[in-house]
Amino acid sequence: DVKVTQSSRYLVKRTGEKVFLECVQDMDHENMFWYRQDPGLGLRLIYFSYDVKMKEKGDIPEGYSVSREKKERFSLILESASTNQTSMYLCASSETEFRPQHFGDGTRLSIL
Amino acid sequence: KQEVTQIPAALSVPEGENLVLNCSFTDSAIYNLQWFRQDPGKGLTSLLLIQSSQREQTSGRLNASLDKSSGRSTLYIAASQPGDSATYLCAVRRWSNSGYALNFGKGTSLLVTP
């Protein structure tokens, strides 16, 4: 079974802080994704990566950056956290664009 | 822009009933469609993936169908159980400026009562 692990289930940070969310997958998948999920808005794609050191903007990249130094790890960075970034963050990976995406358990992030 | 709609938004059924969840999408140029289950406060669990060339996929009590030309998919759950209570999400995969991204519907919240 594919295992996608997100480092924190719950996180509380303050406005202006630099925040790191970590995601690790154990199946040597090429593709990794970061989404956020908000009530009434559903899941929206923030960034994705097709390979090590590659990154592409999703639908809502503003205020975020990513890092993929190793194939198994994809990090989401909030450069200067703001209250409107309070959300549930979900990481996913897939073998190719034609294979299922597998999700982690999510990180519920609160920015105070 | 791809729009994905799920109807109904919420559904409550007694245990043992067969039920159908609906998903529609506006752009038929998709690569595949994936159904997920999400329990409260948790991540998404993949249930079924249908490639654009396929008509249906089955896994246990679940059957998903795809009619790409009409932009519709259904998820059929047979003999529902209280453990099936969750939010069910459909997502279509297409090529866009965001790469091979998934476009999600907002989900159907299912409650199966004993």
Q: Which residues of A touch B92 (CB under 8 A)?
A: none
Separation in Å, CA of A78 to nearest CA in chain B? 20
φ/ψ of B98, rounded to 5, equals -95, 20
* Interface mutation target, options A21, A98, A102, A108, chain B, most CBs of B under 10 Å: A98
Q: Which of A45, A98, A106 sits opposite B43 (nearest CB)?
A: A106
* pLDDT single digits (tens) A31-83: 999 999 999 899 999 999 988 988 999 889 999 999 999 999 999 999 999 99
Q: For residue A90, give the nearest of B44, B88, B60, B112 by alpha carbon.
A: B44
Are B100 and B3 in contact by the 8 Å Cβ rule? The answer is no
3-state helix, strand, coil in chain A (%, to 5): 5, 55, 45
Choose between A26 and A96: higher pLDDT: A26
Output the pLDDT for position A104.
94
Q: Is B105 on the interface with A (CB under 8 A)?
A: yes
Chain B residues in contact with A100 by the CB 8 A cut-off are: 34, 46, 49
Whole-Å CA distances, B26 to B2, B14, B43: 6, 32, 26
pLDDT category of residue A99 using cuts at 50, 70 and 90: confident
Residues with Cβ within 8 Å of B25's Cβ and at least 6 positions away in sequence, in order, are B2, B3, B4, B5, B33, B71, B72, B73, B92, B103
B97 — pLDDT class (breaks 50, 70, 90): low
Query: What are the two backbone dihedrals, phi and then psi, of residue A86, each rounded to the nearest 5 degrees?
Result: -65, 125
Q: Are A49 and B106 a contacting pair, CB within 8 Å?
A: no
Which stretch of A60-69, B8-17, B76-85, B88-97 has the lowest confidence by average pLDDT? Answer: B88-97
Confidence band, pLDDT 50/70/90 cuts, at residue B102: confident
Residue in this structure with the two tokens 């209570």, named with its chain if needed: B85
Q: Hey, of A7, A45, A62, A110, which one would you mutate to test binding to chain B, going by the most B CBs within 10 A of its CB?
A: A45
pLDDT at residue A97 is higher than 80: no
Of B36, B45, B100, the CB nearest to A97: B100
Whether B54 shows a pLDDT value over 90: the answer reads yes
B46·A58 Cβ contact <8 A: no
Interface test with A, best of B102, B106, B109 (most A CBs within 10 A): B102
Count other C-beta atoms under 10 Å from residue B33's C-beta: 28
Average pLDDT, chain B: 93
Please state, in angstroms and rounded to a whole number, the distance separating the CA atoms of residues A92 and B2: 20
pLDDT of A10 strictly over 80: yes
Cis amide leading into B114 (omega within 30): no
Question: What number is the average pLDDT over the span A16-41?
Answer: 94
d(CA B52, CA B56): 10
- pLDDT (0 to 100) of residue B28: 87
Amino acid B82: pLDDT: 97
At B3, list the tokens: 């729009």
